[in-house]
Chains A and B, each alone.
Chain A
Amino acid sequence: MYLNSFFYFLIFLSLLFIDTTQAKISPVTLKIEHWSTKNGIPVYFVPKNEISIIDIGVLFHAGSAQDNTSPGIAQFTAQMLDQGTQNLNADQIATRFEAVGAHFSANTNQDMTVLNLRSFSAPQFFNPALSNFSILLKDVTFPELAITRLKKQILIALKQEAQTPTSIASKTFYQTLYGAHPYASPILGNKISIEQLSQKKLLNFYNQNYVAQNAMIAIVGNITKAKAITIAEQLSAMLARGKTALSINSPTSPHLKNHIIKIPYPSKQTTIFLGQIGIAVNDPDYFPLIVGNQILGGGILTSKLFNEVRNKRGLCYGINSGFKPLQAAGPFFIVLQTRRDQAAKALSLTQQTLKNFLAKGPTTQEVLDAKQALIGSFPTSIASNEDILTATEKIGFYQLPLDYLNSYQQKINSVNLEQIRDAFKKIKPEKMIVVMLGKQ
């Protein structure tokens, strides 16, 4: 019984803690070292010596927003990098990475292409992996046969998307929301644009975008700063100086009132996307919106949308709202799936929950709870080397302040209720794009 009272005491303490008006902060200190290579590439470095791994990211402003008249070319270029260089074919490139247990990946989103290398830090593994990696920055030849093959594979990936309800709905959502803006363009491209890609176009894209002025480097792991400087110079030396990619214009909201797009699809559930244009990474309202969204639909298991649509009525498995901050304004969206005969009900409940949130705003207690959740969970989001790499890449790419991570919790903590209400004025429930995919 003694044990039991101890038990209550602890919980009492922790509840007491929470109910004060300021969130408690266990500060995060993560020192990011920053310098530039001789030909001007910004480098961001975090030493992590506890495990014998090195992670490297080389990022280019070469996302699908740079596709222009060739939708899908940014992604296609990235996927071609390990398919052939002046001296090596795809088999040899893969073998060289895998013989030393190295992982190479290339990923493209709207803003960027990210090349990542993960390797053991011991020189006998790391050196061959790094040398294989650096070749891909300069010597890629885009062999015709590999282009033909990758085209077939991308066409199949497009079909895969076309049998995945959320992918179809999400593509339609982006296309409608962004209209003529580059973010409208699907990252994989489309059948016609892929078929029209040529070696010449790919080489042009590569030579124009994979350049020093368009790049940044992030390094995390078990090495000294001196060694990191050498690595960055080795990678940097592979890249021509080149020019910075054109910046991405701010999108303009479509001139539409509530606009519903219905897509017939033989599914059991109706997939619903609704939203509007949201914010860019550097938006001054970023922190109030993040805290507010945690309350509305960001907090897993605790948000208003989760409670109203899922917990109280059992209308869906997952529902969440979110901002996707990008270089230019990314979308604000709510997504859910529900049995088709209750789709209208679920949509209207979702819209009503959003309207209530916007009209009444959150309560002081809700704001405090949300801040506590975001501040408390922050250390877990930058604990592994992989997490640290991702965070460092984001800071470097979007030129966020070097102390971004160290001041993150303080910035969340300083958000107040009025700031949230003001920031959410930009969300207009009467001006949303709604995509409904399912049997009509």
Chain B
Amino acid sequence: MFFKKLIYLSLLFLSPLCWANDVHEYHLKNGLTLLVKEDHRAPIVISEIWYRVGSSYEPNGITGISHALEHMMFRGTKKFGPGVLEKIVSKNGGEQNAFTDSDFTAYYQKFSADKLAVSFELEADRMRNLLLRPQNFLKEIQVVMEERRMRVDDNPQEILLERLNAAAFVASPYHHPVIGWKTDLQNMTVEDLRKWYETWYAPNNAILVVVGDVKPNRVYQLAQTYFSNLKPITLPKIKPVKDLFPLGEKRLIIHTPAQLPWLVMAYPVPVIKQDSNNQDPYVLHVIATLLSGGNSARFAKNLVRDQQIAADANALYNPISRLDSLFLLQATPTAGHNLSELESSVLKQIKQLQTFSVGTEELARAKAQIAADKIYQDDSITAKANELGSLAAINLPWQIERDYLKHINAITPRQVQTVANKYLLASHLTIAYLLPLSINSTNFNSLSVIGSKHVP
């Protein structure tokens, strides 16, 4: 056992090493934040621009607008008309895309380190000069609705998650989906998008993140060259949000065509806040790892292998979020077990955490897994850039990532038990059951040839 302790101690020692090479933070006069991290392993760079706007900023009626705008950002500017941006990045050997979430909209290019200026030029231009042509919008909103059908409408588990969020979050804007409600997409106009763009896309609402084979000061100069003449705007004042305090459990039944039943349970929980010494989010991360951090974790060991009541079972929690979030438990029952039996078994695992102190060896293993996950991420410049961007997008300092493992390593068995008792409360739960409607179709194991014809 002494040997094991030694291992974990040295793990602790390992963690700060990878951050010895620190993040360089700069602020342009127009309010643009620049974060640079060097990684000279390969002659490449990733350049990301993050805007502090996402679906949680959207009022009713225009849900999904942040994401729809993200799509239109690929439809050209005055200087680089439709299709030109894609061509320039591609010819320069770049890979590019964008992603939208509740708290941010982000765009990236990844290519040879000597191409960084190409990225800055294009992003500086489309920050203020987007065309937003009506004829392009009419097509692009169709694309977005196809995306919604693909991601949500034709995916039974996503249908459940969308409705679970809508039930668990009442006053919080996390209530509505990132991709938006269908009716809102159908009624969205290019004028809505223009207004949204003009409200949020400005240097004082953006963070530029650069990771790769670069010199921080040179990146700063380059950023000044391309971004410094963009004018800041007056940003809307963000109103505070506080969700309702739960007064008892909520239950949802989802009937939809599917093959498998599914159980999801959600507890409202806090997240990491600036200027707060609250360690609970770190403890919740450890709890999620104890439950399902790997094959040796409690769900795999007890629910999957021992009781064989679940085919899979997971606890999910992200401590990096602008507003209070959810601690999710998801599980698929094995044949011969129903969702209500599965629910009791999952809840028994929670009860165990609340009643008995976690063993030091088990806790140390969970910490080792969190450390490994964090340190292995150093292998990917994309993962590193995303870590920095997702913090800055919600006004958290990048030092949170640097110090993360220190907080994790300090957690005691008593804290685990206390936090489990504080938040994982039956009366706070939103519980959703997916009850499959028959797909009423063919046996997919054998081939069904319905029609066969020649196409001209």
B375 proximal to A (CB < 8 A): yes
Q: Are B87 and A102 in contact (CB under 8 A)?
A: no
A369 at the interface (CB under 8 A from B): yes
Q: Which of B10-18, B99-107, B198-206, B413-421 contacts A (4 or more CB under 8 A)?
A: B10-18
Can you list, as one digit per residue, whether each of A73-84 has a CB less than 8 Å from chain B (1) or not (0)?
Answer: 000000000100
B87 close to A302 (CB less than 8 A): yes
A307 contacts chain B at the CB level, 8 A cutoff: yes
B368→A100 contact, CB < 8 A:
yes
Give CA–CA (A125, B96) in the complex, Å.
37
Contact A372 B92 (CB under 8 A): yes
Distance between Cα atoms of A50 and B379 in the complex (Å): 10
Interface residue B97 (Cβ < 8 Å from any Cβ of A)? yes
Residues of A within 8 A of B14 (CB): 52, 120, 122
Report if A152 contacts B (CB, 8 A). Answer: yes
The 4 closest A-B pairs by CB, nearest first: A376-B93, A101-B372, A314-B142, A94-B295
Name the contact of A163 in the complex, choosing from B115, B150, B156 (C-beta under 8 A): B156
Inter-chain CA distance A241–B139, complex, in Å, is: 60
| Docked-complex contact B90 and A301, CB < 8 angstroms | yes
Bound complex: CA A93 to CA B295 (Å): 9
B363-374 Cβ-contact flags toward A at 8 Å (1 or 0): 011001101100
**A159-B259, A265-B439 known; A98 and B294 CB under 8 Å?**
yes
With a cutoff of 8 Å between Cβ atoms, the chain A residues found around residue B155 in the complex are: 164
A82-B295, A380-B44 known; A155 vs B335 contact (CB < 8 Å): yes
Interface string of B28-65 (1 = CB under 8 A from A): 00000000000011111000000000000000000000
Contact with B along A290-303 (1 / 0, CB 8 A): 00000000011110
A115 within 8 A of B: no
**Which range contains the number of B residues in contact with the other chain?**
35 or more
Chain A neighbourhood of B295, CB < 8 A: 82, 90, 93-94, 97-98
Partner of A369, one of B90, B312, B369: B90
CB contact between B441 and one of A101, A161, A264 (< 8 Å): that residue: A264
User: B110 contacts the other chain (Cβ, under 8 Å)?
Assistant: yes
**Interface footprint category on A:** 35 or more
Q: Out of A158, A260, A301, A376, name the residue touching B451 (CB < 8 Å).
A: A260
| B247 interface residue (CB < 8 Å to A) | no
Mark out the residues of chain A between 345 and 393 whose CB falls within 8 Å of any chain B CB in the assembled complex. 348, 351, 369, 372-380, 382-386
Stretch from A3-11, A36-44, A211-219 forming part of the interface with B: A3-11
- Which of B96, B259, B335 is within 8 Å of A162, CB to CB? B259
Give the distance in Å from the alpha carbon of A164 to the alpha carbon of B258 in the complex.
9
- Is there a chain A Cβ closer than 8 Å to B453's Cβ? yes
**Other-chain contact of B95, A97, A176, A380 (Cβ < 8 Å):** A380
- Chain B residues lying within 8 Å of A257, measured Cβ to Cβ, are 454
Q: A51-B378, A302-B90, A383-B42 are in contact. Are A149 and B308 (CB under 8 A)?
A: yes
Asked whether, in the complex, the Cβ of A120 is within 8 Å of the Cβ of B44, the reply is: no
Q: Name the interface residues of B192-244: CB closer than 8 Å to any CB of A.
A: 224-226, 228-229
For A163, the chain B residues whose CB sits under 8 A away are: 156, 257-260, 436, 439
Residues from chain B with Cβ under 8 Å of A318 in the complex = 150
By the criterion CB–CB under 8 Å, are A14 and B92 in contact? Answer: yes
CB within 8 Å of A: which B60-100 residues = 74, 82-83, 86-88, 90-97
Q: Which residues of B contact A337 (CB under 8 A)?
A: 146, 149-150, 154
Are B296 and A339 neighbours in the complex by a CB distance under 8 Å?
A: no
A372 touches B142 (CB 8 A): no
Q: Are B44 and A152 touching (Cβ within 8 A)? A: no
A26 within 8 A of B: yes
CB pair A91 B296 closer than 8 Å: yes
Contact B86 A376, beta carbon cutoff 8 Å: no
Asked if A153 is at the interface of the complex by the 8 Å CB criterion, the answer is yes
A439 to chain B, nearest CB (A): 10
A255 CB-CB contact with B under 8 Å: no
- B72 CB, min distance to chain A CBs, angstroms: 12
Asked whether any CB of chain B lies closer than 8 Å to the CB of A31, the reply is no
Complex partner residue of A267 from B154, B228, B259, B454, CB under 8 angstroms: B154
**B40 closest partner in A (C-beta):** A50
Kindly supply a per-residue 1/0 record for chain A positions 51-83, scoring 1 wherever the CB is within 8 Å of any chain B CB and 0 otherwise: 111000000000000000000000000000010
Q: B450: which A residues are within 8 A, CB to CB?
A: 261-264, 440
Is B452 touching A260 in the complex (CB atoms < 8 A)? yes
Contacts of A11 in B (CB 8 A): 118, 121
> Is A411 engaged at the interface, CB distance under 8 Å to the other chain?
no
Q: Distance (Å) between the CB of A18 and the closest chain B CB?
A: 5
Of residues 169 through 221 on chain A, the ones whose CB sits less than 8 Å from some CB of chain B are 171-172, 175-176, 190-192
B121 touches A10 (CB 8 A): yes
Residues of A within 8 A of B380 (CB): 384, 386
